[in-house]
Chains A and B, each alone.
Chain A
Amino acid sequence: MPLRLLNTKDGKIYTHPALITKFEESRIFRSILFLTTTRCALEQKQYIVEVVKPFFAYAMLSHRWEAQELGFKDIPQEGVYSSSFDKVRNLCREARRHNLHWAWVDTCCIDQTNSVEVQKSISSMFSWYRGSALTIIYLSDVVESTSQALFLSQWFRRGWTLQELLAAKVIRLYKKDWTPFYQSTAFNHKDVPEILVALQSVTGIQKSYLKFYCPSVEHPRMKLRWACNRETKEKEDEAYCLMGIFGINISVTYGPYEEGHHAFSRLLMEIMKRTGDATLLDWIGDPSTLNSCLPSSPICFSDDPIPMGIDGPPPPVLSFALAAQVIYVFKRAVRRARE
């Protein structure tokens, strides 16, 4: 669960202790207390799971950062509803419309001035999106519900959004005016075949991965290729935004030019330690400053992988029976020639 969440009713930000206090003030909590005296243990447990889980269910926002964003320290005392930032307000409204009490957005739910918090957030981001009840994908540059508009959206060119798309189990795509990209009865847009096909063609990621992605170091080159045309604001983020996809953790540090390049090398070495995939060395472009064998960026993996000659049946070979027959015929021919 994220470190901080926005309450979709009052628009205020809550830390974990404040969330618990809020829960203890709720009617649900009082009903649970009442149940402990009236129902058996098993019924209590089932009921608690049924009511507590929805109470803490939250929506995550996946978006592209604009020039002006509402920061953690910019949130007004009265909550985000009194701010002038439409994106956060609309997120909370949309989450509330779907009966979610909590919402999260990286612009104002992370204190960007606190490096420890930033590190912890980056390391946990994949699991937060995975644990969300809904991930709202806001396409700020899409005005029409067409595949072409989707294809041109900058949301698909950003590094972090790859992880957000794969991690989220339930997504809904929204256009610039906050209307759903696809008008359908299906709540989860990952259940809409047309959208899955469009997402596959835009991202180059197979539908099965889009719908049921499981973090692992398997097929590393394919996953690095997913990221090769995506950009991040910080060079280091080229590596950090892939940690969740590979299910690995490396230390999160930001620094001068060298560190930016080293982060991706560190990620690759961590993958190399866990897998013996030869295709990781199949890249073109600039090498890392750490080792000539390591590439400097995911863009080095933009080429299609080369099949290693894993082919069909083996080429025809002379069987023992056939060889014996050939020798027999040959010997007879020699004998005849001598006679």
Chain B
Amino acid sequence: MCSKGLFAEQESEIFQSKYVFVLTCYTFSSSHLQDGRNASQESSHNGPDVDSVPHIPSATNIQNIFSVKRSTSFLSEGNGIIPLAKLLELEKQALRPYSLSPEIHIIVRCFVHEVLCLYSTSVSGSYYCRADGVKQFNLDTFEKLESFSTDHRSPSRYLLARIWDEQLSYDSSHTYAHTTMPLFRQRLKNPFYAILLERCHDGRLRRLPTRKRIIVELEQLPPQTYGVRSLDLY
């Protein structure tokens, strides 16, 4: 009985440690995703040219720049705890064990720039914006946005995203097995089409609709830390 109890205790400890391990892994991967860096980007750190190349997703991941999935997660209120007393009240309203969200999630792989400041122009719906690492750009939107300016430390409400396009790494000359790094960086430096994303209260990202394209250009050739992230848009 005693030995059995001890064994059970040991088993319980093993289980707990395993549980903590799994939880840590889960937390790590969650924060990892929240941070917006995907696994492929991490793996690129193991490569020999870590200090000299922008981070590009691995070949298998870049085949599709986005993936589409239907959300089966809980609705937003599912994150909070419903107390017992509340549960008794809710019983009358037939609280279902699950709920399906009709939202479609699209995971987009893109280069991300934090928007540092945004201020309106004399034209309604038109804004000047500055984002980390890119030249000032114009934004024409249907939505009314609040002007703001932020320091580099705290994340702003908006993100400027450049969608990954596999053509960027396409070798048009067919001379090289892969596009050379100088050419690749030069291509990234060229003006590009971007989308503006808004961080919502629940941490999710939403694309802001615009009247005109957002055309942006990097201030200089992309730095070593420039890389593709996977963002879950709803």
Interface residues of A (CB under 8 A from B): 265, 269, 272-273, 276-279, 281-282, 284-287, 290-294, 303, 306, 308-315, 317
Interface size class of B (residues with CB under 8 A): 35 or more
Q: Would you call B45 an interface residue if the criterion is a C-beta within 8 Å of the partner chain's C-beta atoms?
A: no
Interface pick from B4-12, B120-128, B148-156, B162-170: B162-170
- For residue B233, which residues in chain A have a CB less than 8 angstroms away from its CB? 291-293
Distance A265 CA – B166 CA, assembled complex (angstroms): 23
- Establish whether residues A291 and B106, one from each chain, have CB atoms under 8 Å apart when the complex forms: yes
A-B pairs with CB below 8 Å: how many? 102
A–B pairs, 28, beta carbons within 8 Å: A265-B104, A269-B68, A272-B68, A276-B62, A276-B64, A277-B65, A278-B65, A278-B165, A281-B195, A284-B209, A284-B212, A284-B213, A290-B104, A291-B103, A292-B208, A292-B209, A293-B233, A306-B193, A308-B165, A309-B168, A309-B187, A309-B190, A310-B167, A310-B170, A311-B172, A311-B186, A314-B173, A315-B182
On whether A293 and B108 interact (CB within 8 A), knowing A272-B68, A314-B182, A317-B182, the answer reads yes
Kindly list 5 other residue pairs between chains A and B, CB separation below 8 angstroms, not including A269-B104, A278-B167. Answer: A286-B142, A291-B104, A293-B108, A311-B187, A314-B183
CB distance from B35 to the nearest CB of A (A): 20
Q: Whole-angstrom distance from the CB of A225 to the nearest CB of chain B? A: 14
Residue B207, interface by CB 8 Å? yes
Closest to B206 in A: A292
B170 contact set on A, CB distance < 8 A? 310
B102 lies within 8 A of chain A by Cβ: yes
Give which listed residue, A285, A312, A317, contacts B172 with CB less than 8 A.
A312
Residues of B contacting A306 with CB < 8 Å?
192-193, 213, 215
A315 and B186 contact, CB distance less than 8 A: yes
Known contacts A293-B108, A306-B193, A276 near B187 by CB under 8 Å: no
